[in-house]
Structure 1
Amino acid sequence: MGGVDYASLVSIPTSYATCSLGSPSNPPPLLDRLHAISLAGFPAVELSFPDILSFGQAWLSHQIEPSDYDELCKVAAEIKKECDKRSLGIMMLQPFANFEGWPEGSEGRNDALDRARGWIRIMQACGTDMLQVGSTDTPLEKLEKGKMVSDLRGLCDMLKEHGFRLAYENWCWSTHAPDWKDVWSIVKEVDRPNIGLCLDTFQTAGGEWADPRTPSGLLEDVTKDELEKRFKKSLDDLSTTVPKDKIYLLQISDGYRAPEPFHAERDGSGLLPRGRWSHDFRPLPYNGGYLPVVDVATAVLKTGFRGWFSYEVFDGGADGKKQDVDIVAYAMAAKHVQPRLLAECAGERVPER
């Protein structure tokens, strides 16, 4: 696979995840965020389920249960109207988690199927055709690993009835599929026309190259030189083995080096260290992070992929505690990242702002 032709990149569409504008611990109202995203010139959003809950509570003046799909569909339809007013498409609903692998007849399995049916209804109400599914981080001892593929096949078939697609993402703290190769292997085995990859610069570099548990912020199981060689080989494999039409989107964010190494155990809410890191330490590229974002994006573009670049950041500042964010300025900054990122992927001179 050759290099990346800059001229081929100008038509790449951009999206912004609603959950990732403003302080992760103190997000502003959804309509303010939609306004900022639209003002910055993004044509679409990823709609986050927690944003449906929070908007619904404000709109209906009462709390909504996450399983009350009748109310959630009303809320999702209203959010679609608000997006339409601002000329924003809803590119994807996210994040659907902990679906695959539950034992037959278990409470987890019944809950997963109920959620799948409910989220499909929400997709219909908000007018999106793509569901992001994160590779599960449920402890493996609770799951049957042999059911992962058949469960995802079943979900693909449920989605297909409505013309919907499944974007499967490797979460770097997943207990069974933390790397892009893991999810690609599963997607190939699922073998359905409506499943593809949701790749992510943070998830790829944050799992295979970086580690918030070490003083260096890097994986320390090999020398730095070996680490670079190993990661380059992984990205070369990605660019030469994944067909472009099996990549549905690339999510973009960087990572701050953790202020001090994270402890290895799950925290009080059950999050593993990379999950905690992801929650608050993900800035825009070129804003204080240290991950090889350009290398990951370049590998994805070398497949021939020219689909969605979607900005999904969780920027709590370098200490993870930032509260106040000018969301209009931040959304504008995200929009300005795109031409610089694409130019660097193509080895071109960075365009002037």
Structure 2
Amino acid sequence: MALNYASLTTIPISYASCSLGPPSSPPPPPLLDRLDAISAANFTAIELSFPDILSYGETVLGHSPEPKDYDELVKVAEAIKKECDKRKLGVMMLQPFANFEGWKEGSDGRKDAWERARGWVRIMQAAGTDMLQVGSTDTPLENLDLDKVVPDLQGLCDMLKPHGFKVAYENWCWSSHAPDWKDVWRIVDEVGRDNIGLCLDTFQTAGGEWADPTTESGLLDDVSKIELIHRFSASLEDLSKTIPKDKIYLLQISDAYEVPEPLSKEADESGLRPRGRWSHDFRPLPYSGGYLPVVDVATAVLRTGFRGWFSYEVFDGGPDGKGKKQDLASYAQTAFNVQQRLVAECAGKKFPQKQ
């Protein structure tokens, strides 16, 4: 049965603050310029990126704050909220809270994770947001105790609950323990708290179950193309029938370029796996030269009945991943146009290809 198009036209849209401007050309464009472009393109909220808090600190404080100086970070977050208010932008979510769950008892990683959690709660209060994105950790398995993943997330939910805050748990397709939507859904279900749900992502889903930046074809090659199509379709069908709509907090939108040369299957010197490297520089807007089945993923999510946030999180370094010049205003407007086309195609409608 086709999705009701009218129900898709009211979906609220957000843009990740970190993902406007080329990802490989530091420093990024000034935050206020990005907020201006996002607001002018009729987005109603941002995902506030922690690196943007650090970089905007230079404007607010006259120096870059330390990542754990929460007194100063709170001041910066308050200033960013004021700038968002001026532009009629909400702060939909604080992101990305990484490498949190599953550290072994007594480890420095565990101590650091909970220290950061307490500090980020303060930042959320200052920024005026009620949602924290937690990415499924890519900490090496030898450093984890997987029996602690669910209790850790329960503890985080319980820490956030008195503030009216919630956790959006995302499968990162290079995660060491939960790379697929089924993995994070199983964990969220086991956590069993009413303030945890899913941050689903077209890149993370298709980039893990459909595509592979280390192969010549750019696709998973453990099965034939026909079998891959059937397997991925079955996974999306399962998603649409398995996850309750109220357990999806947002859907992040991006596509992926096929890399010019297959990436090494080994982690790089920083420990980042190939899909993580791919994610950093090869994620354009849909309809901009990528090859992931974005419409299929979005349609499956919408078939759950979900009509919440669609949020654009792209890292567009161009087809070669080396960065390309972007006009912030026109890029943000293109993202808005993509949203119109995407929901139309999810409903089975043809859409004029103007962007």
| TM-score calculated relative to the size of structure 2 | 0.98
Letter in 2 for 1:121: R
SS of residue matched to 1:75: helix
- Alpha-carbon contact 1:97-1:133 (below 8 Å) kept: yes
Deviation at 1:59, TM superposition (A): 2.6
Amino acid corresponding to residue 316 of structure 2 in structure 1 = D
Structure 1 range deviating more: 182-191 or 23-32:
23-32
Corresponding residue for 2:61? 60
Number of positions where the alignment pairs a residue of Structure 1 with one of Structure 2: 352
Q: Is it true that 1:268 corresponds to 2:269 in the alignment?
A: yes
Measure, in 2, the Cα distance between the counterparts of 1:25 and 1:19.
12
SS at match of 1:197: strand
CA distance in 1, matches of 2:270, 2:221: 27
| CA distance in structure 2 between the aligned counterparts of 1:98 and 1:107, rounded to whole angstroms | 12
Mapped to 2, the partners of 1:232 and 1:274 lie a distance apart of: 21
Residue matched to 1:168 = 169
Aligned to 1:11: 10
Contact 2:47 2:94 survives alignment (8 Å) = yes
Residue by residue over 1:327-347, the C-alpha shift from the partner in whole angstroms, topping out at 9 and shown as x without a partner, is: 111000000001100010010
Cα distance in 2 for residues equivalent to 1:202 and 1:100? 22
Q: Tell me if the contact between 1:343 and 1:351 (Cα under 8 Å) persists in the aligned partners.
A: no
Provide the C-alpha distance between the structure 2 equivalents of 1:121 and 1:60, rounded to a whole number of angstroms: 18
- How much does 1:63 deviate? 2.1
SS at match of 1:161: helix
Distance 2:16 2:282 in 1: 16
1:80-125 C-alpha deviation (Å, 9 max, x unpaired): 0000010000000000000000111211000000000000000000
Describe the superposition over 1:140-182 as per-residue Cα deviations: whole angstroms up to 9, x where unpaired. Answer: 0000011100000000000101000100000000000000000
Residue deviations 1:36-86 (CA, integer Å, cap 9, x gap): 101111010000000000011233221211000000000000000000010
Q: CA deviation at 1:352?
A: 7.0
| Amino acid paired to 2:190 | E
What SS does the aligned partner of 2:252 have? strand
Specify the alignment match of 2:251 in structure 1. 250
Q: For 1:37-52, list aligned pairs within 5 A.
A: 37-52=38-53
> In 2, distance between residues paired with 1:105 and 1:156?
21
Shift of 1:351: 5.1
Distance, in Å, in 2 between the alignment partners of 1:352 and 1:17 is: 24
Is 1:92 aligned with 2:93? yes
Report if the CA contact (8 A) 1:3-1:302 is conserved.
Answer: no
For 1:25 and 1:161, the matched residues in 2 are separated by 39
Cα separation, 1, equivalents of 2:97 and 2:191: 18
Equivalent position amino acid for 2:106 in 1: G
> Is the 8 Å Cα contact of residues 299 and 346 (structure 2) preserved in structure 1?
yes
> 2-side partners of 1:63 and 1:298: how far apart?
42
Instruction: Give 1:350 shift.
Output: 1.2
2:20 is equivalent to residue 21 of structure 1: yes
TM-score where L is the length of structure 1: 0.98
Distance in structure 2 (CA, Å) of the matches to 1:221 and 1:230: 11
**1:115 & 1:262 partners in 2: Cα distance?**
32
> What SS does structure 2 have at the residue aligned with 1:263?
coil
Question: For 1:199 and 1:259, how far apart are their aligned partners in 2?
Answer: 27
C-alpha separation in 1, matches of 2:129 and 2:12: 16
Amino acid at match of 2:177: H
Runs of 4+ in 1 over 4 A off after TM superposition: none
2: distance between equivalents of 1:84 and 1:25?
A: 29
Q: 1: CA distance between counterparts of 2:43 and 2:353?
A: 20
Contact 2:60/2:79 (8 A) holds in 1? no
Q: RMSD in angstroms over aligned alpha carbons?
A: 0.9
- For residue 323 of structure 1, report the CA deviation from its aligned partner: 4.0
Name 1:141's counterpart in structure 2.
142
Query: After the TM superposition, which residues 150-229 of structure 1 pair with which residues of structure 2 at under 5 Å, given as runs?
Result: 150-229=151-230
> Contact 2:210–2:220 at 8 Å: present in 1 too?
yes
Partner residue of 1:110? 111
Deviations 1:240-292 (A, max 9, x none): 01000000000000000011000011112221100000000000000000000
Distance 2:107 2:269 in 1: 24
Q: Which runs of 5+ in 2 are unaligned?
A: none
Cα distance between partner residues in 2 of 1:295 and 1:72: 39
Separation (CA, whole Å) in 1 of partners of 2:141 and 2:323: 34
Q: Is 1:302 equivalent to 2:303 in the alignment?
A: yes
Query: Quick one: distance in 1 between partners of 2:226 and 2:336?
Result: 34
What is the rounded CA distance, in whole Å, between the counterparts of 1:352 and 1:253 in structure 2?
18
